Each structure stands twice: as structure tokens, then as C-alpha cells.
Amino acid sequence: MGETHSGLILRGEASSQRATFLELFLDLVFVFALTRVSQRLITDFTTEQRILLSEAGQTLLLFLALWLLWATTAWITSTLEPDALAVQVVVVVTVVGSMVMAVALPQGFGERGLVFAGAYVSVQIGRILIFLLATHGRADPTDPAAPLRVLFWSGLTAVPWIIGGLLGEGAARGVLWSLAVTVDYIALTLGWPAPRLGRTRFSGQTLAEEHLAERYQQFLLIALGESIFVIGVTFSGGGGAFTPARTGAFGLALLTTVLFWRIYFYRAGQVLPLAITRARDPARLGQSVAYTHLTMIAGIVLTGVGYELSIAHPLGHNPPAWLFAVLGGPALFLVGRAGFEYQVFGRVSRSRVAGLILLGAVVPAMLNMSPLTIAGTAAGILLGVALLDFRRSHGRAPEQPAPPI
């Protein structure tokens, strides 16, 4: 276990694997942030004369920026001792910055664009400066150049983020921010390669495997909780009567949320901590599952939006774009879940593939159906996936993880 003179400590075997209360406090901010993402998507789907692909793409871009902050914070607290003062300050800075971004998100491509971009850049650069100041330039004793690499790339992408925020509403902001967030993700994946500084090697890094796995599990539960919040508010508010159609749509939404939980946690999600621990390269597996969780969480949020539309208009006209949410959300979740299953077990169940094929096959038949019917079809397919999982595992010993990485 390495230690700097500022008290910044690398994770060791004796370190607690549980998330700290400060980390859970950060999660509360992201509960709110996900509600802003959902509400912006609902506006994308219901406002007339909008280009859905463009509007939904903007919302996705803002969500990707938020997820990157959360995921990198989870990595920080899984590699460094979370009780160290510098780490706690970094988490608090992330809490404040993420909250500002969440508040600005509904108008992130409007009048609050500079606020969103400024908060994002401030967190990205500010966290590195805090570590450098607190440790006199040696935030990571095993790799002193690591923070400088991150600072190099954060400073590089800060330019399109800030210029995009300064520009008025238009395509230029979308182009600049798309470039910035793409570069941010590529730099993270490649280990922030920088001239004369090399690149960060994730393999062999000190890592609290169980802690990182638990953080991913907790965020997926946050997404499920946000979905429950959205459908609950829609059903109980707005002066809508508890008609059979609205009640049915509400019941289908709850069923789908339960099925997401079941399909995720049985069994890959349940054994994720053991999978990362047993992996040949735990750090690489820990990094890669961030992307499959991102895909699953995006699918859950999108599905929640679709069910809000179904509850509000269960028997009304079904614009074709709504199919993208009601059927596309579960499909996106299954894509992420299939990739996640491969990461944990080195294989993909046929039930995932069958579910994806069915979701795509029913699209033509659903074009003229009511939102309630479409929601029931999506829930039925997910129920079939869950039942196939149960049938395959019934009477057998619990499968043990066998990560290919």
C-alpha cells in the first residue's frame, strides 16, 4: 500500500469494500440528474415540430457527460482510500458540479449551455488540480505522471466544451460537444496517452474490486428507482383518473421495472463482485463493465419515458416515434445485458438474443396499435426472457463467473 506525505493512500486489502456515505450522497444527486434526463426526453417525444433523432441525441450527449463524471469518481474511490481528505474533497466537488449540470440540463442546449459546460470542465480539471496540490504533484506514487495525463486531455477537450457553451443554440454547439465527449471517452479508454508522459496502464492497478462492482450495482438500482419515480408521479399526478387503461399501463410499467431488476441481478449482476475479483485483469474488466452498465441504464431510462407516455395516453394515438422508447428501451437494455453477461461468464444466453429478435420483429405490427398494447408486448417479451432464465437455472447449481478478461 503506497502513501504520499499528504495522506493520500492507495487502496489496500484491509480497506473497506463498502461505499462510503459521501459516495451515497453523490448518488442522490444522480437520482435527480436522471429525472432531468427523463423529463428532457419526454419533451423530445411530445413537442411538435422537433427532429426526434437530433433532440434525443442532444439528451444522450448530456447524459454521457454526467455518466463520465460518476464513473470516473467510482474509479477514483476504488483505487484510492475514500476516507483520505483529498479524495473526499474531490467527491464533494463532483457532487456540486454534477448538481449544477443536472439543474442546467433541461436547457443544456439552450440558454444554460455555458453553465452546463462550465460545471463539467470545472469538475474535470478541478479534481486533478486538487490531487496535485494536496500531494505536491505526486497523486499516484506508482505512476506520478497519471494526473498530468488526465489534466492534458481535460484541458484539451475544455476548449470545445466552453466554445460550444458560448455559442448560441444551433448545430455548432452539438458538433463541438459531440467531438468533446467522444474524445473524453476515447482518452479514458486508451489511458489518456500524452506526449512524453506515456499512457496510464490500467492492468495491475490497485483496485477494490468488490467496491467498484457494488458502485455499478448501486447506480443501476438508481436508474430503476428513477423509473419508479417517473411512472409513479405520472400515474398519481396530473389529475388523471384511475381508469382501467391507465391502471393497466401503470401495472405494466411496474412489471417491466421488476423484470429489469430480475434479468440484471440473475445472475451476472449478483456475482459481479466475484467476477471482477476472479478476472485475470480485474482493472480492465472493471473498466469495460462501465460501458455495458451505461447501455443498460440508458435502456432503463428510455423505457421509463415510454411508459410515462403509455400511462398518460394509454389508448390514444401512437406516434411512430414512441415505439423507439417503448420497444427500443428494452432492446437497448438487453443489448447491454448480453454484453455484460459475456463479460461475467464468457457467453451470451439465447434468451437475450431471442428477446432482441422478438422486439425487432413486432415493430411493423405495433405501428397502428395503442400505447397500452405496445407496452404489454414489450413487458411480455421481457417476461419470456426472465422465464427462460429461470427454466435454464432451475435445479442446477448456481453458475460461477468465468470472465474472459
Its sign, for the CA torsion 212, 213, 214, 220, is: positive
Residues 235 and 308 grouped into a single domain = yes
Distance CA 325, CA 299 (A): 9
Which backbone phi and psi does 9 adopt, to 5 degrees? Answer: -115, 135
* Least reliable range by pLDDT among 11-20, 42-51, 58-67, 143-152: 42-51
- Domain range spanning residue 30? 21-190
Residues 291 and 363 grouped into a single domain = yes
Of 127, 162, 190, the residue that ends a domain is 190
Which three cell numbers mark 62? 448530456
Which backbone phi and psi does 191 adopt, to 5 degrees? Answer: 85, 30
Residues 114 and 263 grouped into a single domain = no
Strand, coil or helix: what is 3?
A: strand
Whether residue 55 is contained in a domain is answered as: yes
Question: Residue 214 sits in a domain of what CATH number?
Answer: 1.20.1410.10
- Could you write out the DSSP letters of every residue in 328-360? HHHHHHHHHHHHHHHHHHSS--HHHHHHHHHHH
How many domains does one find in the chain?
2
Residues 184 and 74 grouped into a single domain = yes
Predicted confidence at residue 8, as pLDDT, reads 56
Whether residue 14 is contained in a domain is answered as: no
Residues 116 and 217 grouped into a single domain = no
Of 136, 158, 190, the residue that ends a domain is 190
What is the DSSP secondary structure assignment for residue 348, as one 8-state letter? -
Mean pLDDT for all residues in the chain: 91
Whether residue 7 is contained in a domain is answered as: no
- pLDDT tens-digit readout, 247-296: 999 999 999 999 999 999 999 999 999 999 999 999 999 999 999 999 99
- pLDDT tens-digit readout, 308-363: 999 999 998 888 889 999 999 999 999 999 999 999 999 999 999 999 999 999 99
Residues 263 and 335 grouped into a single domain = yes
Residues 222 and 294 grouped into a single domain = yes
Residues 179 and 223 grouped into a single domain = no
What is the DSSP secondary structure assignment for residue 10, as one 8-state letter? B
Residues 249 and 347 grouped into a single domain = yes
Which three cell numbers mark 141? 506514487
Residues 161 and 251 grouped into a single domain = no
Q: Are 286 and 207 in contact (CB under 8 A)?
A: yes
